[in-house]
Amino acid sequence: MEEVRNLRVQMHSRKSLYNDSRFCSDNFMPKKPSVTEYLSVHHYLNDLYKYRKQTEPDFSYELWAQELDFKNRSFLRQIVTGRRGLTSDTAKQLAVRLNFQGIERQYFDLLVQYSRARSLEKQSLLGRELMSLLKSEHSQQEIEDYCEFVSATLYPKLQTLLSFKDVRKTPEHLAPLLRKSPEEITNALKILERINLATQEDDEEWKSVPKSFKVPEAIGDRNLLEYHALSLREAIEARSLPKEQRRYLSLILPLNQQDFAAFWEEFNKFKKDMIRKFDVEDLRDRQLFQMNLNIYAVSEEMVDSKIDPTPT
């Protein structure tokens, strides 16, 4: 259960700010509690109430219950103090009323599950997801010179390998992992160094400059389109791999423009969930896998309720 212990250590120093007696000092400007700095929903709500009370003298449980659309202040007080647990409906209501968006909403939803976990195994799993969520949010660096970065499919793979702790990061050790020659890896490392993504250490090993990276979204960009074309060619060549190392899936769906946008949003959530779930620091017993998603129209839009066949 090392993940849970590590998460508690990480959070303790930050959370202590809200329990410090200086919080009530006249000369101390209170900081609004951030849900991503807590391991307990109840502690967060309790500190949020104290913050509101500190900054808004007339604030009360009665006013807060009205804001959150709770039936009475007693019900809210029991939740804040931990005497009443959070149901799924209550948690959803809180998330909406507290206006959690993006990373905060994802963290809050996970935190509710973490707080309700009854087994150490479940708590450990959720603890890892919380840590991965924070790490992916706060350490992802957007690559500025992405045009050169995506000019070869080797560069993102190599950059990913540099992030693992247990990988020997020399061309001789990296080459067989990526099925390349040491010379190819050396040249690729120099390019990554030129665009400030990698650096060579004194012991001649290389390391990644950002712990995590992302390529900016630029729909229609010629360089990204070419990168995806290269990736698709590699995916076709992967047919020769053993079935344990590859999967192909095809799906046809009827979508309008709103459906298309909703599908893309759902897939992005799925992508983030997979990154959180499988984000590890060691490569031992693992291989890098690449997934490409291609979604495109295969028919014309049917505008009328019925399309007559073209007369012959």
| Structure confidence by residue, pLDDT tens digits, 152-195 | 999 999 999 999 999 999 999 999 999 999 999 999 999 999 99
Strand partners, 200: 206
What number is the average pLDDT over the span 72-89?
A: 91
User: How far, in whole angstroms, is CA 85 from its chain's centroid?
Assistant: 27
Q: Which CA distances in Å does 151 have to 146, 194, 211, 225?
A: 8, 14, 21, 10
pLDDT of residue 217: 75
Residue 76 exposure: Cα atoms within 13 Å on the Cβ side: 20
Q: Which residue has the tokens 């007369």?
A: 311
DSSP 102: H
Residue 32: partners with Cβ closer than 8 Å, 6 or more residues away: 48, 51
Specify the DSSP element, H or E, that contains 52: helix 41-55
Domain ranges of the chain: 2-138, 146-247
Kindly report which listed range (45-54, 68-77, 109-118, 301-310) carries the lowest average pLDDT score.
301-310
Residue 44: partners with Cβ closer than 8 Å, 6 or more residues away: 33, 35, 38, 111
**Please, what is the end-to-end C-alpha distance for the chain in angstroms?**
72
Residue 103 exposure: Cα atoms within 13 Å on the Cβ side: 14
Amino acid identity at 15: K
Residue 53: partners with Cβ closer than 8 Å, 6 or more residues away: 59
Q: Which CA distances in Å does 288 have to 153, 216, 227, 279, 280?
A: 13, 22, 18, 12, 12
pTM comes to 0.58
CB–CB of 73/65 below 8 Å? yes
Phi, psi of 203, rounded to the nearest 5 degrees: -85, 15
Query: Which CATH architecture does the domain made up of 146-247 adopt?
Result: Orthogonal Bundle (1.10)
pLDDT of residue 67 exceeding 50, the answer is yes
Q: Looking at per-residue confidence, does 140 or 31 come out higher?
A: 31
C-beta neighbour count of 74 within 10 angstroms: 13
Distance CA 256, CA 181 (A): 47
Residue 249 exposure: Cα atoms within 13 Å on the Cβ side: 7
Report pLDDT digits (tens) over 260-299: 999 998 998 888 778 777 878 899 999 999 999 999 999 9
Q: Which CA distances in Å does 202 have to 170, 182, 199, 205, 206?
A: 12, 19, 10, 7, 9
